[in-house]
Structure 1
Amino acid sequence: MRQQDARNLSMVMDFYELTMSNGYFVGQDLDTRVVFDVFYRANPDGGGYSIFAGLEQIVDYIRNLQFTAEDISYLREQGIFAEEFLDYLARFTFRGDVYALPEGTVMYPGEPIVTVVAPLIDAQLIETAVLLEVNHQSLIATKTRRICNAAAGRAVSDFGARRAHNMDAAVYGARAAVIGGATSTATVLAGQMFDIPVSGTMAHSWVMFYKDEFTAFEKYARLYPDATVLLVDTYDVLHSGVPNAIRVAKEVLEPMGKRLKGIRLDSGDLAYLSKRARKMLDDAGLKDCRIVASNSLDEFTIQSLVRQGACIDSFGVGERLITSKSEPVFGAVYKIAAVEEDGMFDPRIKISENVEKITNPGWKQIYRVYDENHKAIADLLAGRDEEIETSGEVEYVDPNKPWKRRVFTGCTFVPLQQPVFIDGRFVGTTPSVKEIAKYVERQLSEEIWEEEQRFENPHKHYVDMTPSYYKMKNELLASARFEG
């Protein structure tokens, strides 16, 4: 089951994609093949890395890309498209190639995440959909990973649906959150669609509906004796909530042979309240009762709670996760890198007064470079057909310090991009969300340096270039001409 099953999302595109495609069609350029790269320029929140997410939804979009009779009728009403172009769209199917990092790959600014090699119109029409999936899910996955790192081994659950920007953001944000390390979500549709564990307790309204707090807790415990987690801050955490939770554990659950699974704190001084609640629970013989905390949490508040020794076993994180409140824009872009001429791909480069906006030209490959301990020491950009001789020293260029001679010795070079579509035919794989999450965890625990994962002043991961690729880029820069 997919959320888009009952709707055609093909028209989720910027209008200029259609006006440009119409222009290419009228100009007889529709079959010229081009290369477009998706990349981004900076990690969110000043972090040391990002996590790629959203590839499955890109695949779904491209596989289902079609224009219905209603779509064609709407476009005809705009009064600017050639009728022959509309006939072409009515028969359209994607014919290109797509290469991408495996979903869940730890990635860095400036390197190609997704590369589209396709006829010009095909490449142009998918721009918006590709970007919105990369930008949204990569942002949420990266933010969630920061939150999970701050939690220092404690479980993190996505509680963000009601604060998400719409239904799609809630569902696919939950998917991205689990890729980033969350253990569960409160969003039921995401659990159903992606086989994600769902979790939840009760709202304050449940407690307030009944005549008193104990009655509310008792009814809930009798309904869900194997999963009783009680929200204890409706009235007074220490003088009412926790004592009533303990009473329910003793008078309701234990006679049934059950244990109180947990309590949830959703307001107040969470560090202080959790410590006091922990002692009360322990003194009552409920050392196995877990304490869950929520209430506008993010990586910084969680890090502070952990440093204060808060007795919190897991965190429910909502608005600041699902919206990535501290930096809500990921900033991936879709730029042309090459145009096919006489059977060869001629590189293209975008020049800018802002150095960070100068693009890396040409059809290229990105390698992850591992040392003898299989630690990722750098990434390496090379021409697509460039062969790297790894038997001895491998020379490379640090584009920030090109005057220095640099070599890799005894390293392994692993190409990161893999084929996803060839000639419009899907050839990739669609791992489950749980499998993608395990892939993320393995990279961060085994391959990526801890220094890159810290919040403050993270180590910069180097994205280097082969000498021939660096030479090609600089020749393009040198040959650029400006007018005015």
Structure 2
Amino acid sequence: MSRFGSLDPDLIQSGGCTDIYFPRCEAVLEKAGVNPSVLMEVSVASLPLGFGIFAGLDSVLELLSGLPVTVTAMPEGSIFYEGEPVMTIAGRYRDFARYETALLGLICHASGIATAAAHVVSVACGRPVFSFGSRRQHPAIAPMIERSAWIGGVAGVSNTAAPAGIPLAGTMPHAFVLSFDTPESAWAAYAEYADPDVPRIMLCDTLSDEKAEALAAARIGCSAVRLDTPRSRRGDIRSIIGEVRWELDTHGYRDVRIFLSGGVTAADVAALRDVVDAFGVGGAIANAPVVDFSLDTVEKDGRKIAKRGRRSGAKQVWRLPGGRRVTLPIEEVPPAGPGDAAGAGAAPLLCVYIRDGECVCSVDLSESRRRACEEMKNYRGPALSQG
């Protein structure tokens, strides 16, 4: 155990972060002289939103690179559905068994956050959404939280430990406002001394009515006002926002935008996107439920075999013309469309990333984000066809 309750990354890399039954059973297998050649696949049986966004592949490649395994996966940022394999691992079971705990943790958590972010961004219908929730999780995983939210489509993130290239966003805490004699003096200082490239967004709910503080901030020359009223004091938040918008407009501040934060959920975003210009979303993204992936054997020593509830054998997920998808045994080609040869226009979604321990394909964060955003644009509900 290292500082702040964090685990030494070298211990994760060496397989030292695992469920105890793996090393115990590994020892039994070794003494019994058993080490089958297996194919295992990662999939999920249930997705509350009907879809998921695959994230965390970068960390999995770092974890498994150098082990005598071959790994195929959907590209990071891909949309996936219930029952579809998003990853397969082929090798001798004892060579990678103890890595299951860390592997699943990496993709379950990252994919959950990316999926939640994609959902919130989709219901915002073009209104910018910012990730403000890293404070709701252990600081050691802040880079993963912000990276996953970025893949999911947020416009920026708040944590300074975010991976390079992700834009940082944030305004001011209530403690900053209370450090001055009045909110007006706090906003004036911020307007004068904050770096020129920092947007002049003023927090307007610290001591008095939101519309009164918003007008006062607008007179100082802000570009936007942020409302962060605790949920217990909101009452009818739509009415409050409407009052703020009315007063800003009638006093000549139509260009001043309204930014909403503070316990904002996907339902809030959907309900208020017509009266709010941008959203800061915290726990609804950072505290998202994990995607409950499992890693299951589907072949052993070349023979198709799987536990109850799982489909045996190697598979490929195909995207068919028109956006339909089908999961088929690896030896089968997708069905033909009208007038087409079998497999015409179909694209396989599982690609090789590690071959015999060597990384043959890398993960690019910008491409992962682009892919997720593009696939969400085309998402129209659960997959129309599942094999």
User: Normalization by structure 2: what TM-score?
Assistant: 0.89
Report how far residue 297 of structure 1 moved: 1.1
Aligned pair in 2 of structure 1 residues 38, 333: CA closer, same or farther (>3 Å)? Answer: same
Aligned pair in 2 of structure 1 residues 39, 410: CA closer, same or farther (>3 Å)? Answer: closer
CA distance in 1, matches of 2:177, 2:319: 53
Structure 1 residue 40 and structure 2 residue 44: aligned? yes
- The residue correspondences of 1:342-381 to structure 2 (distance < 5 A) are 345-351=302-308, 358-370=309-321, 375-381=322-328
CA distance in 2, matches of 1:385, 1:410: 12
Report how far residue 237 of structure 1 moved: 3.5
Within the candidate set 171, 186, 197, 2:158 is matched to: 186
Q: Paired residue for 2:87?
A: 114
Q: Paired residue for 2:372?
A: 440
Q: Deviations over 1:85-127 (max 9, x none)?
A: xxxxxxxx51110000000111011111110001111231221
Aligned pair in 2 of structure 1 residues 33, 194: CA closer, same or farther (>3 Å)? Answer: farther
Report how far residue 438 of structure 1 moved: 1.1
Report how far residue 275 of structure 1 moved: 2.2
CA distance in 1, matches of 2:355, 2:250: 64
Structure 1 residue 462 and structure 2 residue 385: aligned? yes
CA distance in 2, matches of 1:410, 1:24: 42
1:263 partner amino acid: V
Report how far residue 27 of structure 1 moved: 2.4
Tell me if structure 1 keeps the 8 A contact 2:315–2:327.
no
Secondary structure, aligned partner of 1:439:
helix
Q: Paired residue for 1:263?
A: 225
Q: Work out the number of aligned pairs and report it.
A: 373
Tell me if structure 2 keeps the 8 A contact 1:135–1:331.
yes
Q: Paired residue for 1:84?
A: none
Report how far residue 170 of structure 1 moved: 3.2
Q: Paired residue for 1:95?
A: 68
Structure 1 residue 241 and structure 2 residue 241: aligned? no
Q: Paired residue for 1:72?
A: none
1:380 partner amino acid: T
1:23 partner amino acid: V
Q: Paired residue for 2:100?
A: 127
- The residue correspondences of 1:67-78 to structure 2 (distance < 5 A) are none
1:338 partner amino acid: E
Aligned pair in 2 of structure 1 residues 366, 17: CA closer, same or farther (>3 Å)? Answer: same
Tell me if structure 1 keeps the 8 A contact 2:317–2:325.
no
CA distance in 2, matches of 1:421, 1:266: 46
Q: Give unmatched runs, 5+ long, in structure 1.
A: 64-92, 250-259, 352-357, 395-407, 453-458, 465-484
Within the candidate set 265, 268, 291, 1:330 is matched to: 291
Secondary structure, aligned partner of 1:230:
strand
Structure 1 residue 208 and structure 2 residue 159: aligned? no
CA distance in 2, matches of 1:121, 1:6: 21
Tell me if structure 1 keeps the 8 A contact 2:118–2:376.
no
1:197 partner amino acid: P
Q: Paired residue for 2:24?
A: 19
1:109 partner amino acid: E
Secondary structure, aligned partner of 1:189:
coil
2:351 partner amino acid: Q
1:439 partner amino acid: R
CA distance in 1, matches of 2:79, 2:29: 36
2:159 partner amino acid: T
Report how far residue 5 of structure 1 moved: 8.8
Q: Paired residue for 1:9?
A: 12
Q: Paired residue for 1:479?
A: none
Q: Percent identity?
A: 26
User: Normalization by structure 1: what TM-score?
Assistant: 0.72
Tell me if structure 2 keeps the 8 A contact 1:111–1:381.
no
Within the candidate set 199, 202, 205, 1:230 is matched to: 202
Aligned pair in 2 of structure 1 residues 194, 19: CA closer, same or farther (>3 Å)? Answer: farther
1:276 partner amino acid: E
Q: Paired residue for 2:126?
A: 153
| CA RMSD in angstroms, aligned pairs only | 2.4
Tell me if structure 1 keeps the 8 A contact 2:328–2:334.
no
Report how far residue 437 of structure 1 moved: 1.4
Report how far residue 24 of structure 1 moved: 2.2
Identify which of structures 1 and 2 has the higher relative contact order when contacts are C-alpha pairs closer than 8 Å and 6+ apart.
2
Tell me if structure 1 keeps the 8 A contact 2:335–2:342.
no
Within the candidate set 53, 56, 66, 1:51 is matched to: 53
